[in-house]
Structure 1
Amino acid sequence: MTTGFLGAADHFGYADLLSEAEKTVLTRLRCFLQDEAEPVLADHWERGETPLFLRDRLAGLDLVDPAEVRGAGESVRPLFLGFRNLEFSRVDGSLAILFGGQAGMFRTVVATGGSEQQLASWDEDIASFRMTGCFALTEPDHGSDIARGVQTEARRDGDGWVLNGAKRWIGNAAFSEYVAVAAKDADDGQVKVFLARADDPGMDITKIEGKTSLRMVHNADIGLRDVRVPETHRLQRINSFADLNRAFETLRPDVVWNATGLQLGLYETVLEYTRKREQFGRPIASFQLVQDHLVTMLGNTNASLAIAVRLSQLAAEGGVSGEQAALAKTWVCRHMRQTAALGRELLGGNGILLEHRAARFHADAESLYTFEGTDQINTLIVGRAITGHSAFL
């Protein structure tokens, strides 16, 4: 069994596809997460508070677009970005969103939709976290049907725009400088995206309380009442939902990597526990049924890793289709859910205690299972592709 960069959990050595420079950067991240993040996560998770100070320290690690893993004039590889997501999720899902909501989602939406001038003005600041932001698409009455259900309205007014509407479940909104708001143009009915300041008059951001999953992520309800945004802060290359979907094609594989990382971290946690926990005078890892569960968890993790790696390879070769991303998301997250349940089961009553990481992984798996397209929606996307018949209502 391999004991390479990811350890024995990477049963087929997928991390060997990384360059030494990429491994060096990821090792820097891993050490930070183990030494500075892990000791404070359980306490913040239980209190439902974001360890925001960790984001500031992460910004100084040069993880977003590190020059040491790029050739001259080249971008970082999707494979590196995937393994970066995995390293975060291997430790905690909320921390993955704290970083990825900025470095992945917000940056990608701006990079996909912004003009050359806008990118020149903003991208470096976004990558360095000097300009923080989040993306606001989902609405109180529209989640899975948001492509046809955007009700937040943008109305042209002189040299700017006026936004009215509401958004829901917006991660990182409470501590972002900008909110990238998807709104329907009142004149042509097309979706456009506007960078509104979080402290603009008429912008009301309220934390959603009472979550039982990803508790350190401050999801928010956002109300927009006559929020004014200049034309210079409208993303110039997003003039329809189809344009916005170009960003999603880049982002959808991220949740596959996150779900894979969660399984990897849970497997490692549970394997260590079963080796130490004794019942009937011997480690429970020596019991047949425990080994059966562990092997299923390991298989799920490695099959998910294989899919995640292939998605990154496809992205490097020209792009991931919507059907490929949908099948990957639904398959990996279904099996992640099984992995989470088996892992919690193997810890018995200890599996619901925060002193054991399995409790966080088990709870957070439910959020990953739902967002970036529910299991049912992704199934229908793939079903339409393979049959030629749409089963959407």
Structure 2
Amino acid sequence: MADASARINAQKIGLPALDLSVAFPQATPASLFPPSVSDYYQFDDLLSVEERSLRKKVREVMEREVAPIMAEYWEKAEFPFHIVPKLAELAVAGGTIKGFGCPGLSITGSAIATAEIARVDASCSTFILVHSSLAMLTIALCGSEAQKQKYLPSLAKLNTVACWALTEPDYGSDASSLKTTARKVSGGWVLNGQKRWIGNSTFADVLVIFARNTSTNQINGFIVNKGSPGLKVTKIENKIGLRIVQNGDILMQDVFVPDEDKLVGVNSFQDTNKVLAVSRVMVAWQPIGIAMGVFDVCHRYLKERKQFGAPLAAFQLNQEKLVRMLGNIQAMFLVGWRLCKLYESGKMTPGHASLGKAWTSSKAREVVSLGRELMGGNGILADFLVAKAFCDLEPIFSYEGTYDINSLVTAREITGVASFKPAILAKLTQSRL
């Protein structure tokens, strides 16, 4: 027994890991991020001067402030709160919202910023997306003037942080069937229910909650403040992806929300689509950014790492994989860019947004998988980005509509036939009529 205890203590004490530059001197880790080399078709030419300037600014801050610490915090599954002021300096929170201290970016500019953040760290891009393109945008599109004045200026500066709570344990893809209830009482509303997978929720100051009105049976939206009596938020542990993002379970037991914090513009589930249309465009750009970062790291790695007396970049199989990754990125960027232009011209449909998100996340999966192959053993280390990106892409592949659900949204639009429910359910429903 004493020997076993000694072995355990020895393991705990051990020796610190070698510095990576000593342990593996042949290649540079992603803490020193490589230059961007993925814009092979010079898509920068499609951007305005302002959009190019924003891209440069975001890229520089992410490479300088986030790249050196991302692997450490990803491993610990903790959020690096000390970089929030640096993210605030980017002035991208609020995205396309005009006024109230928000940047009023073009949707293309907001998308480019999302990609540049995701290029270095997918978790940071999800933190901003949830805060900005979901929670803040809901208040901007569906809130009263008083609510906008009260909440948006602080959120735009990241002095306060928001989350957006739609998903429930029993209702993910079938979100419109949510069970959380809102009951009218004197002076406000009482919320009861449960939400799950809510990013930023463990530390959010402002929680945008969707609940079913017990009188109308319609979906309404509410702004709930941190620390409200009856509100309990706990962290979801043991994730393999987006580990820096703090996803939580939200429990509400008789949470009182005053009338002034009911979102006046959310009167049915369809009202959430005004927000989801924009956020789905942003989510489509996350895989683009992730793929860009993976390509950049692999491109440098293949030139630095030598085997059989030559750099890995000299081998034909590796060159083919690298070019396939590059081709995917060119196509992904063009799809994302066109999606933004369709939105700006008022022509974008839900099917367009869904196809964009489904397709870019699918192609990015191929890119990070090829990157994992090119990296060999180092492809399983977060220090070289690819392993982290490989895992971070998996939740993105599923959230804001899984690949399958988004495909069905587009298919419904092009065929006129909805196929979300299994055929057997449709037959059962018909037989009861």
Pair in the same fold by TM > 0.5: yes
Instruction: Within 5 Å, give how 1:179-190 maps onto structure 2.
Output: 179-190=207-218
The offset of 1:202, in angstroms, is 0.6
Shift of residue 23, structure 1, vs aligned partner: 2.6
Q: Equivalent residue for 2:401? A: 373
Do residues 264 (structure 1) and 295 (structure 2) align?
A: no
- Structure 1 residues 20-29 or 162-171, which shifts more? 20-29
Cα offset, 1:197, TM superposition: 1.1
Do residues 145 (structure 1) and 174 (structure 2) align?
yes
Distance, in Å, in 1 between the alignment partners of 2:400 and 2:380 is 26
Q: What one-letter code is carried by the residue in structure 1 that aligns with 2:106?
A: R
* Offset, 1:188: 0.2
1:92 paired with 2:117, answer no
Instruction: Tell me which amino acid in the other structure corresponds to 2:162.
Output: G
**1:110 paired residue number:** 139
Q: Is the 8 A contact 2:303 2:311 kept in 1?
A: yes
Structure 1 residues 66 and 92 mapped into 2: Cα distance closer, same or farther (>3 Å)? closer
SS in 1 for 2:264: coil
| Aligned residues of 2:93 and 2:103 also touching (Cα < 8 A) | no
Pairwise CA distance, 1:343: 0.4
Alignment partner, residue 49 of structure 2: 20
1:35 shift after superposition? 1.3
**1:64 alignment partner, SS class:** coil
Query: 2:252 corresponds to which residue?
Result: 224
SS at match of 1:175: coil
SS at match of 1:173: coil
Q: Which of structures 1 and 2 has the bigger CA Rg? A: 2
Q: Is 1:273 the counterpart of 2:301 in the alignment? A: yes
Measured after TM superposition, the shift of residue 191 of structure 1 is 0.4
Aligned residues: 384
Q: Which sits farther off after the overlay, 121-130 or 175-184?
A: 121-130
**1:51 lines up with 2:68 in the alignment:** no
Q: Deviations over 1:362-392 (max 9, x none)?
A: 1111111111101111111122222222212
SS in structure 2 of the partner of residue 355 of structure 1: helix
Higher mean alpha-carbon deviation, 204-213 vs 282-291, is at 282-291
Residue among 38, 53, 71 paired with 1:42:
71
Query: d(CA) in 1 for partners of 2:244 and 2:392?
Result: 10
SS of equivalent to 1:318: coil
CA distance in 2, matches of 1:267, 1:14: 16
Whether the 8 Å CA contact 2:74–2:243 is kept in 1: the answer is yes
1:212 paired to 2:240: yes
State the alpha-carbon separation in 2 of the partners of residues 61 and 315 from structure 1. 23
Which letter maps to 2:405? Answer: I
Of the structure 1 ranges 15-24 and 181-190, higher mean CA displacement relative to structure 2 is found in 15-24
Secondary structure (helix, strand or coil) at the match of 1:228 reads strand
- Which of these residues, 384, 387, 391, is aligned with residue 412 of structure 2? 384
Alignment map for 1:111-190 (pairs within 5 Å): 111-147=140-176, 149-190=177-218
Q: TM-score, normalised by structure 1?
A: 0.94
**Secondary structure at the residue paired with 2:67?**
helix
- 1:275-290 matches, within 5 Å, as 275-290=303-318
SS at match of 1:174: coil
Show CA shifts across 1:217-251 (max 9, x none): 01000000000000100111111111111111111
User: How far apart, in 1, do the equivalents of 2:83 and 2:340 lie?
Assistant: 27
Residue 286 of structure 1 aligns with an amino acid whose one-letter code is A
Which residue identity is paired with 2:309? G
Residues 76, 34 of structure 1: CA spacing in aligned structure 2 closer, same or farther, 3 A cutoff?
same
